Amino acid sequence: MAEEVKTPTGEELVTIKLPLTRESQNDVFVRVNHRTWLIKRGEYVSVPKCVVEVLENSERAILESIEFQQKAQEKSRKKAI
């Protein structure tokens, strides 16, 4: 997050850049309170702070899901032995 600016309505904007990787090349759709954004990967874009919060929460949920799956696989392997 490089820069914060305010819109005429007082809403703070944050400049972000979503990484472009082999696994993740699609644009990212975000919806907050009936407003929507389609964020292009690999380019700097300015979005409201609420969008950044949604993206951070999504990333956190993905990490928690991966951890849960890894623990379940470990338990499964231990039971098989």
In whole angstroms, what is the distance from residue 52 CA to residue 54 CA? 5
Q: What is the mean pLDDT of each run of 10 residues along the chain (81 residues)?
A: 65 94 92 95 95 95 94 83 67
In this prediction the pTM is 0.74
Name the residue ranges covered by the structural domains of the chain. 4-80
**What pLDDT does residue 81 have?**
67
**What pLDDT does residue 30 have?**
97
In whole angstroms, what is the distance from residue 37 CA to residue 48 CA? 10
**What pLDDT does residue 74 have?**
87
Q: Are 42 and 17 in contact (CB under 8 A)?
A: yes
**What pLDDT does residue 1 have?**
45
Question: DSSP states of the chain as a string?
Answer: ---EEE-TTS-EEEEEE----SS--S-EEEEETTEEEEEPTTSEEEEEHHHHHHHHHHHHHHHHHHHHHHHHHHHHHHHH-
